[in-house]
Amino acid sequence: MSETAEAEPGDLAIATTGLTKRFGQQIAVNGIDLAVPRGAVFGFLGPNGSGKTTTIRVLLGLAAATSGSARLLGHDVPTRLREALPRVGALIEGPAFYPFLSGADNLRRFDAADRHADPATRAERVARALERVGLTHAAKKKARAYSLGMKQRLGIAAALLEPRDLLVLDEPTNGLDPQGTREVRSLIRAVAAEGTTVFVSSHLLAEVEQICTHAAVMHVGSLVAQGSLDELRGTGSRVVRVITPDGDRCVSELAHLGLEVGPSDLAAHRAGDAEVVAPLPDDGPAAEDVVAALVRADVRVRGFDVERPSLEDRFVALTGEGFDVAR
């Protein structure tokens, strides 16, 4: 049926090379090389204003790239876009509707715009999409009477009118309450379980961290990191954290084991206790052996933990700022 399967040998749902978009003097997207594997749930992360939505607009052919190239489901953008788009569902910079039409009529309208959609199955597909996002009860209500969260869900329903190979969701949880956010997350999981690649942008890391297999981080128009979540967290960057009243002895024993403790990593914890943090290399001793060695050396251990830095820490390091920073 669709010839998308063999079109891209690298099997990437989205691939860009040096993709750049300028608006006058301002560079919105600066030479990014994005690689989204098929079947991934790909978090496209970055603070507001870092170029995420512009990238999505270029990928979907709404805006022309200034330079660089992009492929969507193996088809060149924008020349072969019309072959890729019917297999792509999208929510771009918030949902948009005809306020004077009902929710169901809005979906019918977007479906009629897709020349590949079969009108014979339209009513059924509209009903199923509404059911999927839990809006069946509001199908006949005018879109202007929808709450922000309902509009967001209707937008997702529009993206799910057809079975898709790729779902692009730009900030899908905007305006949703915690319950709505959970629903969107489980919807994404369900869609991904059917084999659809999901490309979800967000400025809220915590919201997508739990569902993504891969992620990329944008910062001021540039791609500063991308890969699987494990790659991004950095496998070699585990740390041990020891809480002990015997801080100095602990530091020297850890050094004995080959664990470097920086001067700033020894801090007062609570009355009398010190907190010692040391990086634990992958080829270093096993964590349980570290505890055994400490105890043998008469270091009294009140607390012991092996941690990976959270993605959040990693991204703050990459972007030099927290998420949520409006720019």
Unique residue bearing structure tokens 């730009």? 170
Nearest in space to 278 (alpha carbons), one of 228, 244, 316, 317: 244
Longest dimension (CA), the chain: 78
From 57-65, 205-213, 218-226, 259-267, span contacting other proteins (CB under 8 A):
57-65
Minimum CB separation of residue 163 from other proteins in Å reads 15
Minimum CB separation of residue 105 from other proteins in Å reads 8
Q: Which of 2, 82, 260, 286 binds other proteins (CB under 8 A)?
A: 82
Minimum CB separation of residue 189 from other proteins in Å reads 24
Q: Which of 12, 15, 32, 60 binds other proteins (CB under 8 A)?
A: 60
Nearest in space to 278 (alpha carbons), one of 248, 240, 315: 240
State whether residue 86 is helix, strand or coil.
helix
Residue 72 vs 299, nearer CB to other proteins: 72
Q: Which of residues 285-314 bind other proteins (CB under 8 A)?
A: none
Minimum CB separation of residue 51 from other proteins in Å reads 13
Minimum CB separation of residue 9 from other proteins in Å reads 25
- Rounded to whole angstroms, the Cα distance separating 149 from 153 reads 6
Q: Which of 57, 75, 203, 314 binds other proteins (CB under 8 A)?
A: 57
Instruction: Tell me the backbone φ, ψ of residue 165, rounded to 5 degrees.
Output: -90, -30
Asked if the peptide bond before residue 163 counts as cis, ω within 30 degrees of 0, the response is: no
Q: Which of residues 112-171 bind other proteins (CB under 8 A)?
A: 112-115, 119, 158
Residue 73 vs 277, nearer CB to other proteins: 73
8 A C-beta contact, residue 47 and residue 325: yes
Q: Which of residues 91-110 bind other proteins (CB under 8 A)?
A: 92-101, 105, 108-110
- Rounded to whole angstroms, the Cα distance separating 174 from 95 reads 10
Q: Is 62 an interacting residue with respect to other proteins (CB under 8 A)?
A: yes
Residue 109 vs 327, nearer CB to other proteins: 109
- Rounded to whole angstroms, the Cα distance separating 245 from 186 reads 45
For residue 43, what are the contacts with CB-CB under 8 A and spacing of at least 6? Answer: 200, 201, 202, 205, 208, 209, 211, 212, 214, 215, 216
Residue 159 vs 276, nearer CB to other proteins: 159
Minimum CB separation of residue 17 from other proteins in Å reads 20
Total chain residues near other proteins (CB under 8 A) = 33
8 A C-beta contact, residue 34 and residue 19: yes
Nearest in space to 64 (alpha carbons), one of 54, 53, 74: 54
Q: Is 214 an interacting residue with respect to other proteins (CB under 8 A)?
A: no
Binding residues for other proteins (CB under 8 A): 57, 60-64, 81-82, 85-86, 88, 90, 92-101, 105, 108-115, 119, 158
